[in-house]
Structure 1
Amino acid sequence: MRHKEQSEGPSVRVLRVGEQVRHVLSEILARGDVHDDVLATHPVSVTEVRMSPDLRHATVFVKPLLGKDEEAVLKAMRTNTAYLQREVAHRIRMKYAAKLKFLADDSFDEASHIDRLLRDPKVARDLEGGDEGDQG
């Protein structure tokens, strides 16, 4: 029997199920189905869902729009985890209901930081100087 190498990444099925979970959670939050004051006043974007290979665990990355009150939103999401898990299990037919874990999505902050670094005058000067040397 041939084993998959670790570097291959998630299977198509794992990616597909993660995307389905993301869509279901986004729909629940957009409709306001969660009866929580914080979630009612803060639009939340579900940016990514990473499923475990056995599809029993899902790490859900969320970002409040405009990045306001991120900790309060995360706390509200975690408080309502049981309800959200039930809804996901009900809407997606799977053998097991995935256990949801909510984390803040820092990818936007990282991208902004990299963008700021690349726009720094010192870096721009180095990049301009590096291009001239490569042409010869």
Structure 2
Amino acid sequence: MSESKRQQKFARLLQKELSEVFQRDIKHLLKNTFVTVTSIRMSPDLSVAKVDLSFMLAPNPQQILETLNEHKSEVRGALGRRIGKDVRHIPELIFYLNEGADYASRMDRIINDLNIPPADEEE
């Protein structure tokens, strides 16, 4: 089942504002890690946001994810200060590690490191 326009609109708002929260409000928790909110999936009643995150410059992405989960109330509070006037309820946040970017980067490195001889002119 696809998301409604309302869910998509709210997800876009959260994506924008959460990105700001990570860059400005709670950067002290992230230890020089750049956090990208890759996608957000909203529950139909807008009470739960499943947030996919990607971390750049993180030596241990799982550790950063655990830190964010430990400080979820602080993240949610900062989000509330940003969008509280526009929405009735601040959704519960569930953070996920998006490993797609890491996987793509790893595959790129593997492909670039391959030693493929040039094709013969005759073939």
Inter-CA distance 34–109: structure 2 relative to 1 (3 Å threshold): closer
Partner of 1:34: 26
TM-score (norm. length: structure 2): 0.74
How many pairs were matched up? 109
Residue in structure 2 matching 1:18, options 11, 19, 43? 11
CA distance in 2, matches of 1:77, 1:89: 16
- Residues 1:104 and 2:97 aligned together: yes
Do the aligned partners of 1:62 and 1:104 also contact (CA within 8 Å) in 2? yes
Structure possessing the higher relative contact order (Cα contacts under 8 Å, 6 or more residues apart): 2
**Identity score, percent:** 27
Stretches of structure 1 that go unaligned for 5 or more consecutive residues are 1-5, 118-136
Judging by fraction of residues, say which structure has more helix. Answer: 1
Look up the match of 2:71.
Answer: 80
Aligned counterparts of 2:31 and 2:8: Cα–Cα separation in 1: 29
Q: TM-score, normalised by structure 1?
A: 0.68
Q: For residue 62 of structure 1, give the secondary structure of its aligned residue in structure 2.
A: strand
Aligned partner of 1:68 among 41, 48, 59: 59
Which is greater in Rg? 1
What RMSD over aligned residues (CA atoms) do the two structures have, in Å? 2.4
